[in-house]
Amino acid sequence: MTAYAVAHLRTTSAHEDVLTYIERVQDTMAPYGGRFLVHGTQVEVVEGEWPGALVMLAFPDMDSARAWYASPAYREILPLRTRHIAGDVVFAEGVPPGYDARATAAAMRAG
């Protein structure tokens, strides 16, 4: 099942380190099938607040996402971002094919 990485980057930066990170990140993702879904676009806040930026990546599955994040190539560039940008990053598994939200409600009712 497709897995997603979602980053709420609370600050942004055009520091040289960050530019280098952006230049190199795609090559670290490629061996794990990772691709950008959302990158650097202005978000439209419809509820609450969202200071900063949103980045979304997709991977073929959760193991690929984890393997990318733990890879030496990514570990090498990760501090170029985290030294300059504060944020929250999560991984989440995608819903299965044919997912029906009603089934989730039914499961919650069943407790």
Listed residue (70, 18, 60) closest to 39, CA to CA: 18
Residue 55: strand pairing partners: 7, 39
Interaction with a second copy in 25-64: which residues (CB under 8 A)? 25-26, 36-50, 54, 56, 62
Look up residue 23 and give its amino acid: E
Q: Which of residues 60-89 bind a second copy (CB under 8 A)?
A: 62, 66, 69, 82, 86-89
Which listed residue (31, 63, 79, 100) binds a second copy by CB under 8 A? 100
Angle at CA of residue 72, ends 66 and 78, nearest 5° = 75
Positions that interact with a second copy (CB under 8 A): 2, 4-8, 14, 19-20, 22-23, 25-26, 36-50, 54, 56, 62, 66, 69, 82, 86-95, 99-102, 104-105, 108-109
